[in-house]
Structure 1
Amino acid sequence: MNNIPYPFNTPHGTAPFSTIAPEHFKPAFEEAITLAKAEIEAIVSNTESPTFANTIEALDFSGEALDRISNIFFNLNSAETNEQIQQIAQEISPILTAFSNDITLNETLFAKIKALHDRRDQLNLSTEQLTLLDKKFKGFSRNGALLPDEKKKRLREIDTELASLKLTFGENVLAETQDYALHITNPAELKGLPEGAIEAAAQLAASRGHDGWIFTLDAPSYLPFITYAENRPLRKQLAIAAGQKAFRDNDFNNTGNTLKIAALRHERAKLLGYETHAHFVLEERMAQQPEKVTAFLNELLAKAKPAAAREFAQLSAFAKELDGIETLEKWDGSYYSEKLKQQLFSLDDEMLKPYFKLENVLHGAFEVADRLFGLKFSEVSHIDKYHDDVQTFEVHGENGEFIAVFYADFFPRKGKRNGAWMTSYKSQYVKNGNNERPHVSIVCNFTKPTATKPSLLTFNEVTTLFHEFGHALHGMLADTVYPSLSGTSVYWDFVELPSQIMENWCYEPQALALFARHYETGEVIPQPYVDKIRESASFLEGMATLRQISFGLLDMAFHGADPAAISDIKSFEKSVFDNTALFPDVAENCMSVSFSHIFNGGYSSGYYSYKWAEVLDADAFAYFSQNGIFNRDIAAKFREHVLSKGGTEHPMTLYKRFRGQEPTPDALLKRAGLL
């Protein structure tokens, strides 16, 4: 395939990163699209009667080369991008959108799918095959196959514009994140900061040719400053900079993009016969309707708000008593929360960090996966990678069988977006009798090692690593026939269950004993520290829950009604947040314009799913807790009915098969201290 020869002649068919240059992508995309078009044409022009094999199955296995190249390219655009890659993304996105529309708006192809769907009860299909048939039918009908030509044309225009707008939205957020630097030359302004944060800031300043210390909006730099710096005006400066990403009066302002994305999504939904974008999205979610999501969020709000108000009053009184702070502001929240936590529990992140050396935490996650599922992780050097920071692993099962390739990419750098995520370079599926195994990656932004210290994680970063590793297990342990139903290809309000349940092991003494060891002495984390971690697990949980609910409500406000009435994003956002706001509003800040989850990622009308899945994960982990956190029988059931099954059946069916009952919110409310 020009300069990206596919299939890849590499170990396990992994991506040959070191041989790929940005200029190779566009010709490779063009050739892969030509191949995929030929595969679609073969299905369309087949004169035999449509069958599941010659239509549905053939369609699901088509475009394999295009999928692999797309996965490589768009993952690089998130984790290792540059201006050239961003330019190619803008050029290739409309071409990919047009190709996708050519398929879903192909009347002959849809007629074959519809004919099979109409008589699905007579086809003697397996459960997985029935799910795939239904998914393909909806994939066409929900993307315009039933529309008249004039409306199909408009749908194409909308999809092309949306693809470009979403890319621009993400590029603007990245540009704004990287544009800001707080340069400090007076050592007195560093008071309160941990030694490791100061050293990292000095290292960053030196790498940019400056004296002193530089702090940025990247999480490993931003969070220690906002949490520990005693200099309140500088905390304010940094917090305002973070809050006005893509809201400033410059070329990277996302105000127009945000409104356009919301408006186009609404128009698209109406075109397809849905009341709103949220109605369209939620039809294919466990929650099913916007009303149910709003009711779910409001029910949690009713439970969390009194607790949050009490916590905020306690925090405000503490700040006033300690430093005479009359009004607690957003740049004070993390700082005084940390101080109060230290007072109440004699616990702080700096005390814990020496026990959470990154390498140990990663191997702790591996050990937990071994005890639960019998997985063995071996670091290897013969698998190509896109950056020196990336680690590569082969994963095998208890009997030595090859399970997956696993990539881990942990440190921030230029060209890598903020946050943490799991992604896939190759799905699992069964073809020609071969069970093709997946290539899965987790990407995070943790503190880099310095000249004197290894990468030491905060406890929050420990849970982040376990969270993304849970998503990775969902991808790695997939065992389905069809690629589009494999791994994390599930309803979005179910996809967070495997990730969020893994966080629970971080609080368990049995699990912590496996990896929480002092990086200098090798001493296992003392039991009093473990007790404090557990005691403080629900510290300010009401405030944290209220924050998550507010994001879910903002998402639904943009997508659950006609956004035409929104003239000013800032005042609209403020009106939505009024019922959940604790801190005074900051005029210069606007969250919506950098809310990448919903305007650039896949969470539009789905942000509620984090809380929805928390109900599932608390209920599921209660099952482990009652029977032993390393209970192999329960782990086997979780693997068999949840992790391996992907999207082959309705998630509630799978969950009940694992748990024996539907989940109740009791375990979550109890865990969060909200009962």
Structure 2
Amino acid sequence: MAPSKLKNPPQAPPVFTATPSSLIADTKRIIETSRKVQDAVVANVTANDATFAKVLLPMAQDENTMALETHILGFYQAVSTDSKLRDASSEAEKLMDDFAIESAMREDIYKLVDAVLERGDKLDPESQKLLEKEHKDYVRNGLGLPAGPQRDRFKEIKKRLSQISIEFQKNLNEENGGLWFTREELNGVPEDVLSGLKKGEGENEGKLRLTFKYPDLFPTLKYATNAETRKQVMIANENKCNQNVPLFKEAVVLRDEAARLLGYPDHATFRIEDKMAKTPKTVNDFLGDLRSRLKEGGQKELKILTALKETDLKSRTPSQSFDGNYYLWDNRFYDRMLLEKEYSIDQQLIAEYFPLQTTIRGMLKIFEELFGLQFVEITGEERDEISETGKGNDIVWHEDVQVFSVWDDEGEGSGFVGYLYLDLFPRDGKYGHAANFNLQPGFINKDGNRRYPATALVCNFSKPSAKKPSLLKHDEVVTLFHELGHGIHDLVSKTTYSRFHGTNTVRDFVEAPSQMLENWCWTPSQIKALSTHYSSLSDDYLQAWKEHAGDKPKPEEKIPDELIANLISTKHVNDALFNLRQLHFGIFDMTVHQPADHDTIKNMDISVTYNSLRKEISQLDGPEVLGKGYDWGHGQATFGHLIGGYDAGYYGYLSSQVYSTDMFYTVFKANPMDPKEGRRYRHTVLERGGSQEEMKTLKEFLGREPNTDAFYKELGLTN
């Protein structure tokens, strides 16, 4: 039970009671209301008397109110078990996107915003930023073009790109492919995974169905001893969503056309202009420098892994000759084997110390101590009491979802902060990766009071079984902490306008706060604090552990220091190859969004470009070395980032690592649990959201300009 003072939040959580028809009706109502606000501004204000309060404030307040519903209307497509509701959510997003495009191209409003900017009234910094951003957005949305065919074509492109984005992500969410294998073909894959696979009937009698969901895919690529099985899984996964191939091509061609219509040389220049990097040259120089620094390390790592593969193959079948190739489908397998052989790392054993629920509680405790927060899970009758409808089921979208009310501790004033939701297990039709979704932003209401945020983590960890809870591999612990970091950013942000709330920062900074927090998962004291061996959770789990452990002594409750030391020693093992993989994504992104001319992108074979760049940058062999050519797979068709907002921005995962490492080394490395610095970080970085220039936020926190020293030192790449 929650402490009495934390049982009554001042704001009810959102409800998830939409039907397909109500969802569309609500979307149309919201759009109509918003259109009336815009029309009223135009009807009642002239360029001569245009002020921020008369023009931008009413529209910003309308945007705040809209966001309380629109984020959830679009969220159903990622989480609902009802395919009709998912379809309606996609349709709602299309309607909202079309309206956003229409709004962004209203010349009558643009003229008023332009007049406000020209007037030059003194505004508070966040309002000034809103004014400048809004003005720039109108220009970037085609209002710098003369009215007529060019502007009409630009609008047409924007609408089509919105449709492509929605359809592309829907195809990924709905993807439900898989392959049938015998148990022998899946030799080496942990029994935990095999026992959860669908059993075949008829022509598939005696086989198991392996899906491309992460809890099936990754253990198979890591543990299946049969290289042919790994190869089939790898190639099929790259081809699981081929209906997205033409959509991806159409998107990059249309983006290039739109950028050129606006007078930019390419889409990358258009997109990067308002990010921290400012120019493609800055991005390309950074990626090129990192690539040259990583190349030698990648070659060394590859040499070691190739030798390990050769030894392994000879030990299995001495008569088999080694072809000298190290394939894409070898990498997770031999990376894991190297860690086991050279570093005594048993990922399955480590996972036993990280049951999902106790790990989450440990993570929330870290955030409580560091940032001055309190998390109270809302369960049972408390859900009925807190729900506006009186029905506790209405405040979640699925029975597996956990919900927490979040509060400040006494030192931070004991106030309410918002709601945190956790949706942790895979299911049909659900978003397939790990991500944080804002459900309702925070902002200042018209009456001057704060509206509190609600945020959701959507992940795909393995489900618990009768004999074991859901157990996290260490890389899944890092993923969970990273996404929780986004959730905390979303919760503690305090901005006037929803536009700048939480993670609404520029894309080449947004990952930095969460990347910085990943360091806690590599700190001995925090690894120990997060751990609890699952056998200590209940007598049933202890008995289940004994069944497979034989006469081994009962494990310690906390992970042993020796295991922690071994784990930490592996932090940078094969780091060069990992970062070269990230560079492949980043350089591919820049390649398709920075063609020499429009014909280049129209004539580009995207799949060949994707696979040839991967071979060239990552140095791993694909089916192309077996005479298959470079069009054997279509990985770009599964790459939701580049259609969902990270276009000409994937480099941000690497460049924001520069900022995150700088912040950690400078402020937290000496004492990661320093509550004084934790609260300073909360107030200086997280609370600001995107309400001021991100570089200004960084400088204020670091006390200087950021630099790459810590980043290259951490990677062992200092000259």
Q: Do these two structures clear the TM 0.5 threshold for a shared fold by scoring above it? A: yes
1:385 to 383, 396, 417: 396
Contact 2:577 2:618 in 1 (8 A): no
558-567 or 639-648: bigger deviation: 558-567
1:273 to 256, 263, 274: 263
Contact 1:557 1:576 in 2 (8 A): no
Mapped to 2, the partners of 1:533 and 1:94 lie a distance apart of 46
Contact 1:375 1:396 in 2 (8 A): yes
Mapped to 1, the partners of 2:69 and 2:299 lie a distance apart of 50
Match of 2:193 in 1: 197
Q: CA deviation at 1:214?
A: 2.5
Structure 1 residues 138 and 205, CA gap change in structure 2 (3 angstroms): farther
Structural mapping, 1:54-93, within 5 Å: 54-80=54-80, 82-89=82-89, 91-93=91-93
Match of 2:230 in 1: 235
RMSD: 2.1
Structure 1: gaps spanning 5 or more residues: 1-9, 248-252
Mapped to 2, the partners of 1:515 and 1:371 lie a distance apart of 14
Mapped to 1, the partners of 2:355 and 2:292 lie a distance apart of 39
Task: Give CA deviations for 1:92-147 in whole Å, capped at 9, x if unaligned.
Answer: 44432332233222222111111111233xx2212112111111111211112222
Match of 1:644 in 2: 687
Match of 1:372 in 2: 370
Match of 1:156 in 2: 155
Structure 2: gaps spanning 5 or more residues: 1-8, 315-321, 388-394, 537-555
* AA aligned opposite 2:434: A
Match of 2:621 in 1: 584
Structure 1 residues 148 and 81, CA gap change in structure 2 (3 angstroms): farther
Contact 1:98 1:156 in 2 (8 A): no
SS at match of 1:405: strand
Mapped to 1, the partners of 2:530 and 2:615 lie a distance apart of 43
Matched, 1:436 2:451: yes
Match of 1:523 in 2: 557
Contact 1:474 1:644 in 2 (8 A): yes
* AA aligned opposite 1:218: K
Match of 1:633 in 2: 676
Structure 1 residues 32 and 71, CA gap change in structure 2 (3 angstroms): same
Q: CA deviation at 1:627?
A: 3.8
Q: CA deviation at 1:64?
A: 4.4
Contact 2:80 2:86 in 1 (8 A): no
1:558 to 592, 597, 600: 592
* AA aligned opposite 2:227: R
Mapped to 2, the partners of 1:415 and 1:459 lie a distance apart of 27
Task: Give CA deviations for 1:374-433 in whole Å, capped at 9, x if unaligned.
Answer: 111111031510011111000000132110100011111101121110111111111112
Task: Give CA deviations for 1:202-225 in whole Å, capped at 9, x if unaligned.
Answer: 6x769xx97653221000111111
Mapped to 1, the partners of 2:66 and 2:372 lie a distance apart of 34
Structure 1 residues 284 and 361, CA gap change in structure 2 (3 angstroms): same
Match of 1:462 in 2: 477
Identity %: 30
Match of 2:212 in 1: 217
Matched, 1:570 2:607: yes
Matched, 1:302 2:313: no
Contact 1:172 1:246 in 2 (8 A): yes
Mapped to 1, the partners of 2:674 and 2:64 lie a distance apart of 38
162-171 or 584-593: bigger deviation: 584-593
SS at match of 1:484: helix
2:441 to 405, 410, 427: 427
Mapped to 1, the partners of 2:20 and 2:192 lie a distance apart of 36
340-349 or 253-262: bigger deviation: 253-262
SS at match of 1:53: helix
Q: CA deviation at 1:68?
A: 3.0
Contact 1:246 1:593 in 2 (8 A): yes
Structure 1 residues 71 and 626, CA gap change in structure 2 (3 angstroms): closer
Contact 2:404 2:419 in 1 (8 A): yes
Mapped to 1, the partners of 2:81 and 2:593 lie a distance apart of 30
Task: Give CA deviations for 1:503-558 in whole Å, capped at 9, x if unaligned.
Answer: 11011122122221111136111111111111100010000010001100000011
Structural mapping, 1:18-417, within 5 Å: 19-47=17-45, 49-80=49-80, 82-89=82-89, 91-120=91-120, 123-150=121-148, 151-175=150-174, 177-180=175-178, 182-184=179-181, 186-201=182-197, 213-247=208-242, 253-324=243-314, 325-326=322-323, 327-381=325-379, 382=383, 384-399=395-410, 400-417=414-431
Structure 1 residues 93 and 246, CA gap change in structure 2 (3 angstroms): same
SS at match of 1:143: helix
Contact 2:94 2:166 in 1 (8 A): no
TM-score by length of 1: 0.93
2:506 to 487, 491, 498: 491
Mapped to 1, the partners of 2:480 and 2:309 lie a distance apart of 32
Q: CA deviation at 1:14?
A: 2.8
* AA aligned opposite 1:364: G
* AA aligned opposite 2:519: N
TM-score by length of 2: 0.87
Contact 1:32 1:63 in 2 (8 A): no
* AA aligned opposite 2:665: A
* AA aligned opposite 1:639: R
Contact 2:533 2:558 in 1 (8 A): yes
Runs ≥4 residues deviating over 6 A: none
Contact 1:411 1:447 in 2 (8 A): yes
143-152 or 469-478: bigger deviation: 143-152
Mapped to 2, the partners of 1:569 and 1:267 lie a distance apart of 17
Structure 1 residues 666 and 348, CA gap change in structure 2 (3 angstroms): farther
Matched, 1:475 2:490: yes
106-115 or 80-89: bigger deviation: 80-89
Structure 1 residues 537 and 196, CA gap change in structure 2 (3 angstroms): same
Structure 1 residues 641 and 26, CA gap change in structure 2 (3 angstroms): same
Mapped to 2, the partners of 1:598 and 1:492 lie a distance apart of 12
Mapped to 2, the partners of 1:550 and 1:330 lie a distance apart of 13
SS at match of 2:633: coil
Match of 1:3 in 2: none
Contact 1:199 1:450 in 2 (8 A): no
Structure 1 residues 362 and 55, CA gap change in structure 2 (3 angstroms): same
Q: CA deviation at 1:156?
A: 1.7
Q: CA deviation at 1:590?
A: 2.2
1:659 to 702, 707, 713: 702
Mapped to 1, the partners of 2:612 and 2:223 lie a distance apart of 31
Contact 1:307 1:674 in 2 (8 A): no
454-463 or 271-280: bigger deviation: 271-280
SS at match of 1:451: coil
* AA aligned opposite 1:535: S
The total of aligned residue pairs comes to: 652
Structure 1 residues 221 and 154, CA gap change in structure 2 (3 angstroms): same
Mapped to 2, the partners of 1:393 and 1:13 lie a distance apart of 12
* AA aligned opposite 1:197: V
* AA aligned opposite 1:391: Q
